[in-house]
Amino acid sequence: MEQVTLHAEKRAEGERGTGVAKKLRAAGKVPGVVYGLGKDVLPFTVERRRLYEVLDQAGGGNVLIKLDLAGAETDPDVAALLKEIQWSPVHKEPLNVDLQWISLTDPVIVSVGLVIEGEAPGVEEGGSINQLSYDVEIECLPTDIPEQLVIDVTGMEIADTRHAGDIALPEGITLLLDPDDPVVTIARPITEEDLEVRVDEELLEGELEELALEEGELTPEEMEEEAEVEEGEEGEEGEEAAGDEEKGEGKSE
């Protein structure tokens, strides 16, 4: 994975707090921090458009960032990973960004997307692909992080399963999943008989509920309400009994 340069500026000690952050956002900037590798937390600001450029290159996945910080020294053997972005629920704009320092010479654990390739005969026969895992964890050097991993479904028939061990792994990638974990299956098609059985079962459940109501049985909701009422009455009785005891003790004194 190639590094993407992100130009940013180091924030001064006094450039912190909610008020400062609002002013930065109003000026088209996003406050952020970078931490990790035993280094002190380093606050910075980045122009919103530059952050969007990096996110576009990431494509929603991992991105290896070469942080070009004006006013701060950087180690050539160190890069940063995008750790978290806080988004405005109203304007859908980034409010804060967190980066994490990583060593380019040490393996890291990341999650990458899993995509399906190939044509499965089972789909042509009416079955449907059921993908059980869309992201998988791997361990590798930061420069070896793939954009995505691929699993081939060529030749899969109805009721066939592909497992984690079937995922194609580039050199230097360790998959942190049990090789026997299922990741893709071909589900058999739903027949008219299956649909009829499901409809009949739903109708039967509805008829049984109606019959129970006719016989005076309580619905689950009514049973819960009644239990709550009984608990409340028991609590009141306990309080009254405690009050009577206190009165009796007062008289005996």
Q: HEC string of 102-165?
A: EECCCCEEEEEEEEEECCCHHHHCCCEEEECCCEEEEEECHHHCCCEEEEECCCCCCCCEEEHH
Q: What is the pLDDT of residue 251?
A: 47
Other CB atoms within 10 A of residue 227 CB = 10
pLDDT of the residue at 133: 94
Q: For the stretch 76-104, what's the b/e string if a residue is b when 16 or more beta carbons lie within 10 angstroms of its beta carbon? A: eebbbbbeeeeeeeeeeebbebbbbbbee
d(CA 142, CA 149): 15
Across residues 121-130, what is the average pLDDT? Answer: 91
Task: Supply the DSSP symbol for 16.
Answer: -
pLDDT tens-place string over residues 64-77: 899 988 767 778 88
User: What's the CA gap between 217 and 210, in Å, rounded?
Assistant: 10
**CA 185 to CA 128: how far, in whole Å?**
8
- C-beta separation of 138 from 110 below 8 A: yes
pTM of this prediction?
Answer: 0.66
- For 218, which DSSP code? P
Weakest mean pLDDT among 10-14, 111-115, 223-227, 233-237: 233-237
Is residue 201 scored above 80 in pLDDT?
no
Strand order through the sheet with 182-187? 128-131, 182-187, 161-163
The CATH homologous superfamily for domain 109-187 is Ribosomal protein L25, C-terminal domain (2.170.120.20)
Give the CATH class of 3-105.
Answer: mainly beta
